[in-house]
């Protein structure tokens, strides 16, 4: 959607299987990089500083790889998380130091799953499905809790696992797509069901109104 609106996009991956996205959307991804986490991160900093993409997806595989290899919460996993934390510090520093990126960049940071032992398939364990969801940058209220900013539309689930039909939803990693599109001034993903109203607030101030660029249509089956 960002590419269709005339924006420049990039995808930086540190998992080889993510070539699926490049193969599926070759014309929509202006720059695709897939390499080891360290090499990918170096490429990201170099490219972002030079190109100032409008939308960038970045995936750090370190914690997932360490979790599957040695166990979530173990020494190798903790070291992987620290490595990603260092990488993020460099990314944030680049954004803050670049006049073209400072005060106009939104970072949405999340994960696809947690883990216990060396896996994450047991859906009854909260550690497998409880994930971080952090937002940083332009339009974000400093030190605020997203649940406190969204008391009507989102409910903190604690260790429970609400279904997708619950009357009030928790914040899910799926919220990120339409949050990013709102930040770009674009309408939600056609057929999407998570944050389709683009109402997830990152500040106590009213969110910006999206600019419709696609005709309205009914939701596709999920």
**Domain regions of the chain by residue span:** 9-104
pLDDT tens digit sequence for 27-74: 999 999 999 999 999 999 999 989 999 999 999 999 999 999 999 999
CB-based burial label for 95 (10 Å; 0-12, 13-18, 19+) = buried
> Residue 66: CA atoms inside 13 Å, Cβ hemisphere, count?
18
Band (pLDDT 50/70/90 cuts) for residue 134 is: very high
Whether residue 218 has pLDDT greater than 70: no
Q: What percent of the chain lies above the pLDDT cut of 90? A: 88
pLDDT of residue 220: 40
Give me the pLDDT at residue 210, please: 47
Cβ pair 181, 198 in contact under 8 A: yes
CB 72: neighbour CB atoms within 10 A? 22
Give the pLDDT of residue 213. 41
Q: Cβ-count burial of 119 within 10 angstroms (0-12 exposed, 13-18 middle, 19+ buried)?
A: middle
* 3 state SS of 71: coil
Which residue from 33, 52, 51 is spatially nearest to 43, judged by alpha carbons?
A: 33
Distance of CA 196 to the CA centre of its chain: 16
pTM: 0.89
Q: Calculate what percentage of the chain has a pLDDT beyond 70.
A: 92
Please tell me the predicted confidence (pLDDT) of residue 139.
87
- 180 membership: H or E segment, kind and range: helix 175-183
Residue in 20, 23, 56, 16 with CA at minimum distance from that of residue 176: 56
Residue 194's alpha-carbon distances to 24, 197, 206, in angstroms, are 22, 8, 20
Q: What is the mean pLDDT of residues 106-126?
A: 96
What are the tens digits of pLDDT across the range 203-213? Answer: 997 655 543 44
Average pLDDT over residues 175-195: 96
Q: How many CA atoms lie within 13 A of 210 on its CB side?
A: 23
Question: What mean pLDDT is reported for the chain?
Answer: 91
């Amino acid at each position: 959607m960002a590419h269709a609106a005339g924006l420049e996009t990039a995808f930086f991956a540190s998992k080889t299987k993510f070539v699926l996205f490049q193969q599926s959307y070759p014309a929509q991804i202006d720059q695709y990089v897939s390499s080891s986490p360290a090499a990918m991160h170096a490429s990201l900093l170099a490219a972002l500083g030079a190109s100032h993409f409008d939308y960038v997806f970045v995936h750090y595989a370190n914690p997932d790889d360490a979790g599957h290899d040695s166990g979530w919460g173990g020494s190798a996993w903790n070291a992987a998380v620290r490595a990603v934390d260092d990488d993020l510090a460099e990314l944030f520093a680049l954004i803050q130091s670049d006049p073209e990126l400072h005060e106009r960049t939104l970072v949405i940071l999340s994960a696809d799953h947690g883990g216990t032992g060396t896996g994450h398939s047991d859906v009854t364990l909260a550690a497998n499905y409880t994930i971080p969801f952090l937002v940083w940058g332009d339009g974000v209220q400093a030190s605020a809790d997203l649940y406190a900013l969204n008391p009507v539309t989102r409910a903190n689930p604690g260790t429970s696992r609400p279904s997708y039909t619950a009357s009030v939803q928790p914040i899910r990693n799926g919220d990120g797509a339409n949050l990013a599109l709102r930040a770009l001034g674009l309408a939600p993903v056609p057929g999407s069901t998570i944050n389709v109203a683009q109402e997830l607030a990152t500040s106590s101030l009213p969110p910006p109104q999206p600019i419709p660029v696609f005709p309205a249509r009914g939701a596709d089956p999920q």
